Amino acid sequence: MSLVCPSAESSVGPLLPSVAMLRRFDVAGPRYTSYPTADRFVEAFDAADYAQALRQRRSAGARALPLSLYVHVPFCESLCYFCACNKIVTRHHERATQYLGYLAKEIQLQTEQLGRGASVSQLHLGGGSPTFLDDAHLAQLMGMLHGAFNFTPDCERSIEIDPRTVDAERLANLAVLGFNRLSFGVQDFDHEVQKAIHRIQPAAQVFELMAAARQLGFKSVNIDLIHGLPLQTVESFERTLAKVCELRPDRVALYAYAHLPDRFKAQRRIHIEQLPAAADKVQMLARSIAVLSAAGYVHIGMDHFALPQDALAVAKRQGRLHRNFQGYSTQPDCDLVALGVSAIGRIGATYSQNAKSLPDYYDHLDQHRLPVVRGLALTRDDLLRRAVIMALMCQGRLDFEAMGQAHLIDFRDHFAPEFAALGPLIAHGLVRLSDHALEVTPMGWFFVRAIAMVFDRYLQADRNRTRYSRVV
């Protein structure tokens, strides 16, 4: 099998981690959709701190880059056992009416500090299942957003879709509302796996929706898959990959299932003895890289693939790739305003998170308070290490001179302890170290989270890592 290194177009020979390597490097660690990670947020950072960050951005005026905007819709009609998202399972769609009323209050509070008409170049609706909202609710939400923000002509407007909740007519309405990017949650096409995770959706339904999306002219369509689910085998997942190649979405997000039943109650319904072994998960990932690469996809990094002409692949080639709370993104260093229960945002050198439960979220807004309950003001060291970790996760390469000049440090001297800790990773061929750069090898991409962990100052002082999923 031929694996394609995410940092190059060339292919390499047969390559899979050994059992011994898995035992050593398949450790628990963060996914690094941010640094510092969300579990480092503190309650000492509150709504007043967030409001100040918004005002500081407002004072930048025309110098401020366009915003990214995230809206969290927590509702789902049924429970998927694998899910680790903040969601509320209900069939009472009238709850959406109340929720939108509170979103309007939050938008008002945000714009009081940020100013109305801030430029937005990226919008993402996530959940939960945003398509829990009916067409009228979606129109109401988009009207609220358009009244508060100024969307750029080329704005990326994406929405996560549960295929079981839409048809071609609803997709057409999404296009009318201005959405130009879709993400279908598929996870796996195997019927037995679908039963084990309580998410039955026939392949024919997804194929019909994909055909409709193509006909309607959506710029980019993503398919979400998960490997490591109960009853999955290397052979069964190969069949799912074949269907994905037949669908030919613009992007594929291939996430590793993280079994953390102590944290996520729904996962207690999954039988641990039905989960594939780590070696099989690696094989699934390896086959995914090989199959999708042979089908013409670029391996963006870690768990994302895109066709060469897709904006994500273009950003990769041009060095503009970034990671945020939705995964890989085309827009580097973009402030993110997050709306809704539990939503996480980033403004300047700060992170913030809204209240995680609906009662708390509603209570803050009833008292005319921004619902931010925790966050973090980043230090100079945080900003430096964030840049290092993002370079590894997005480009698979650290250029010492460029990083040193950007942050006014002698990189090798500043990170001397980290370079010492890289020894085992170098010895096992996961990274290559030269006088000028550190590069992730094709083998290293299986363990890129473990490589990034070396530069995580918080993690090195924290021995309690059981709250994280394993890196493979």
Task: Tell me how far apart the alpha carbons of residues 244 and 256 are, in angstroms, rounded to a whole number.
Answer: 17
Query: Residue 23: enclosing H or E segment and its boundaries?
Result: helix 19-25
What whole-number distance in Å separates Cα of residue 300 and Cα of residue 316? 7
Give the whole-angstrom CA distance, residue 331 versus residue 322.
6
pLDDT at 471: 67
User: What is the phi/psi pair of residue 150, to 5°?
Assistant: -110, 105
Q: At what angle do helices 358-366 and 95-114 cross, to 10 degrees?
A: 50
Task: Check residue 462 and give its pLDDT.
Answer: 67
The Cα–Cα gap between 449 and 201 comes to 32
Q: What backbone torsions phi and psi does residue 255 show, to the nearest 5 degrees?
A: -95, 150
Whole-model pTM?
0.91
Residue at token pair 């509603």: 362
- Whether 262 and 84 have beta carbons less than 8 Å apart is answered as no
| CATH class, range 39-339 | alpha beta
Task: Name residue 433's amino acid.
Answer: L
Kindly give the interhelix angle for 278-294 and 234-247, rounded to the nearest 10 degrees: 30
* Segment-wise mean pLDDT, segments of 10 residues, the chain, 472 residues: 34 58 80 91 97 95 89 95 90 95 98 96 95 97 98 96 95 98 97 96 96 97 96 97 97 91 91 92 89 93 90 90 84 89 96 97 98 98 96 93 96 96 94 96 89 92 64 66
What is the distance between the alpha carbons of residues 222 and 160, in angstroms, rounded to a whole number?
9
DSSP 8-state symbol, 471: -
Res 251: pLDDT: 97
- Contact (CB, 8 A) for 378 and 386: yes
Q: Would residue 222 be called left, alpha or beta, if left means φ above 0 and alpha means ψ between -120 and 50 degrees? A: beta
Residue 177 makes CB contacts below 8 A (sequence gap 6+) with 138, 139, 142
pLDDT (0 to 100) of residue 326: 78
Q: Among candidates 252, 392, 379, which has minimal Cα distance to 321?
A: 392
Please determine, looking at this structure, whether the domain spanning 3-30+380-460 carries the CATH number 3.40.50.300: no
**Cβ 460 vs Cβ 450: under 8 Å:** no
pLDDT at site 15: 63
386, containing H or E segment: helix 380-394
- Is 13 buried (19+), middle (13-18) or exposed (0-12) by CB count in 10 A? exposed
Which tokens is 419 given? 């370079």
The residues with which 438 forms a beta bridge, in sequence order, are 398, 433
Token pair 């840049």: residue = 387
Task: Please state the domain extents for the chain.
Answer: 3-30+380-460, 39-339
